[in-house]
A and B are shown apart, each in its own frame.
Chain A
Amino acid sequence: MTPRRLTVVRPGALTTVQDLGRPGHAHLGVPRSGALDPAALRLANRLLGNAEGAAALETTLTGCAVRTAAPATALVAGAPCAVTVDGRPAPWGAPVRLPAGAVLDAGPATAGLRSYLAFAGGVAAPPVLGSRSADLLSGLGPAPLTDGDVLPLGAPAGALPPAPGAAPWPGPPARLDLPLVLGPRADWFTRDALRSLDAAEFTVSPRSNRIGLRTDGPVLDRARDGELASEGMVLGAVQVPPDGRPVVFLADHPTTGGYPVIGVVPAEALPPAAQARPGTPLRFHAVHP
């Protein structure tokens, strides 16, 4: 029997294996990691009959192509893109049957940043601390894909679930409007900084990555000097380093840090942030905890 495995034909700019990450180890300095758009990953897995947290391939802007050794079923989700199987157009956002030896190509994202190539049975890279996710801050998990890499696939659970009439794929945002729960260190900033945080327009910086969404725009001034003693950091924390430009922490964020956190973007608001391209306009608006 042909082994169920993928060979990377075109790794794209940055493609990593991601599941729902490895929370629960933050006290050891281990980042949570995991898919930056977990809603897209979960839905892709549900449509394939996988467990919600099965691992898939997360691309960045330019997509990725893989060859399957054995027949397989795949689904491309997240950022929309042209999908082909052996060069012929195939649907995005719906299961695609791949014959043995076929090349599945998820093209460059037509909107958003990160597409997911999910497979019935999941990508079965070896788990590390309970997760197959690549953590780009600490290097845990499988390294970013390169040409010729081989990845095993798990066994599919069974027949595909009945297809829903329409799956709710939210489009990537033309602009980001991020809710922000102020604190725990909002009192480290001036009134002006808090006002501009709530009113000013930022843009998504090209220096953003899986660790954090960096911003260009207003600089937030501190009301006090000195260093904050290192403290635990959460997903979505908006940390303000000495340059005054807020950074929204994404999945590979450090577990502790010494720059003050002015507020926190709730996790459910982060997938659009992780799909926002550099230059996307961004505003924060304060909400109650």
Chain B
Amino acid sequence: MSAAGTAVLRVHRVGHTALLAEAPDAAATAALHAELLRRREAGALPPLADIVPGATTVLLDGFTSAKERDGLAAELPAWQLPPARAADTPALTVPVRYDGPDLAEVAERWGCAPDEVGALHASFAYRVDFCGFAPGFGYLTGLPERYQLPRRPTPRTRVPTGAVALAGPYTGVYPQPSPGGWQLIGTTPLRLFDPGRDPAALLVPGTRVTFEPVDGGAA
């Protein structure tokens, strides 16, 4: 059982209009984020522009009153945080053609054959911890430590849309072409970010993600 229920939160001031709540680990951060969303939904939080999770923090940005900011800063460390429940969080299946240019290198480090990387990667359950880098780019955790790899020593100047990639504890999917230094293991046809669609982003923080290997062809 996670210690989230009794997690000790540290609260930092950020300028005049924001707070940064820091949790001891990712599980407690997930619980804190879920609790903040529950309270916002219930109308029990002061108005805020943004609630932005990080790896082990949640930023509360856009307080409109110092009194509300100070009130929440004083109250937060005493919050009881029930662990985030799977039933409360959205789930997404991401189909992947495991055909990335770094498969051979990843396979060598994992001690398996290149065509086994996909099945192994897809065997774990993932969660979007936070977003950043680009609109709709989620940092997904769930890869066990023994499979974690460093970034490539030299970043690529262009990684294509839909590339599924690994770096450290994270799996990510590039929502638009960009430079990138992560290890590319596959491609998804799923459009992860489309500002004209509601919802614009599919990899929202808290989302549980399953990767599903699909055969070659037009991914």
Say whether B101 faces chain A, with CB atoms less than 8 Å apart: no
Q: How far is the CA of A233 from the CA of B18 in the complex (A)?
A: 10
Given contacts A181-B13, A234-B18, A266-B15, contact A257 B132 (CB under 8 A): yes
B200 adjacent to chain A (CB < 8 Å)? yes
B49 touches A230 (CB 8 A): no
Query: For window 259-274 of chain A, which residues contact chain B by CB distance below 8 Å?
Result: 261, 264-267
Q: Digit string of A1-45 for contact with B (CB within 8 Å is 1, else 0)?
A: 000000000000000000000011111111000000000000000
With A138-B135, A184-B20, A230-B139 given, is the CB distance from A23 to B62 under 8 Å? Answer: yes
Dominant secondary structure at the B interface: strand
Other-chain contact of A24, B16, B49, B133, B134 (Cβ < 8 Å) = B49
User: Which of B13, B54, B132, B176 has the most A CB atoms < 10 Å from its CB?
Assistant: B132
B131 touching A183, Cβ below 8 Å:
no
Q: Whole-angstrom distance between the alpha carbons of A236 and B121 in the complex? A: 39
Is A129 interfacial (CB-CB < 8 Å)?
Answer: yes
Residue interface mask B116-158, A partner, CB < 8 A = 1:
0000000000000011111111110000000000000000000
Report 16 cross-chain contacts, Cβ distance below 8 Å, ordered by A residue. A25-B50, A25-B135, A26-B61, A29-B133, A30-B135, A129-B195, A138-B176, A181-B14, A184-B13, A232-B54, A232-B57, A256-B130, A256-B132, A264-B16, A266-B16, A289-B16
Query: Closest B-chain residue to A28, C-beta based?
Result: B201
Q: Tell whether B51 is near chain A: CB-to-CB under 8 Å.
A: yes
Chain A residue total in the interface (Cβ 8 A): 34
Residues A232 and B20 in contact, CB atoms below 8 Å apart: yes
User: Contact at A267–B131, with CB atoms within 8 Å?
Assistant: no
Top 5 A-B residue pairs of the complex, sorted by shortest distance between their CB atoms: A232-B59, A264-B15, A256-B132, A232-B52, A231-B54
Whether the Cβ atoms of A230 and B54 lie closer than 8 Å is: yes
From A23, A183, A256, B12 is in contact (CB under 8 Å) with: A183
Interface membership of A159, Cβ < 8 A: no
Flag whether A255 is at the interface (Cβ < 8 A): yes
Cα(A233)–Cα(B54), bound, Å: 9
Q: Does B56 contact A (CB under 8 A)?
A: yes
Contact in complex: B50, A229 (CB < 8 Å): no
A138 to B, closest residue via Cβ = B135
Q: How far is the CA of A161 from the CA of B124 in the complex (A)?
A: 62
A138 to B134, CA, bound (A): 6
Question: Smallest Cβ distance from B9 to chain A, in angstroms?
Answer: 13
CA distance A234 to B15 in the complex (A): 8
User: Residue A128 contacts which of B14, B176, B195, B205 (CB distance < 8 angstroms)?
Assistant: B195
Q: Flag B148-180 by CB within 8 Å of A: 1 or 0 each.
A: 000000000000000000000000000010000
- Candidates A139, A181, A231; contact of B15 at CB < 8 Å: A181
C-beta contact mask, B19-57 vs A, less than 8 Å → 1, else 0?
Answer: 010000000000000000000000000000111111111
Among residues of B, the one whose C-beta sits closest to the C-beta of A26 is: B50
Q: Say whether A232 contacts B53, CB under 8 Å.
A: yes
Q: Are A231 and B57 in contact (CB under 8 A)?
A: yes
The binding surface of chain A is classed by DSSP as: loop
Interface string of A115-153 (1 = CB under 8 A from B): 000000000000011000000001110000000000000
B191 → chain A, closest Cβ, in Å?
Answer: 14
Q: Are B195 and A140 touching (Cβ within 8 A)?
A: yes
Whether a CB of chain B sits under 8 angstroms from the CB of A49 is: no
* A80 at the binding interface (Cβ < 8 Å): no
**Nearest chain B residue, comparing its CB with the CB of A139:** B176
Give the distance to chain B from A112, nearest Cβ to Cβ, in Å: 24
A108 proximal to B (CB < 8 A):
no
**A254 close to chain B: CB less than 8 A:** yes
Chain B residues near A265 (CB-CB < 8 A)? 15
B103 within 8 A of A: no
A43-81 CB contact bits vs B (8 Å, 1 = yes)?
A: 000000000000000000000000000000000000000
Minimum C-beta distance from A250 to chain B (A): 14
Within the assembled complex, what's the spacing in Å between the Cα atoms of A138 and B174? Answer: 12
CB of A184 within 8 A of CB of B51, answer no
* Contact assessment for A256 and B50 in the assembled complex, using a CB-CB cutoff below 8 Å: no
**Nearest CB in chain B: distance from A243 CB, A:** 18
CA distance A18 to B131 in the complex (A): 24
Is B81 close to A, CB under 8 A? no
Measured CA separation A230–B59 after assembly (Å): 11
Q: Is the CB of A230 within 8 A of B132?
A: yes
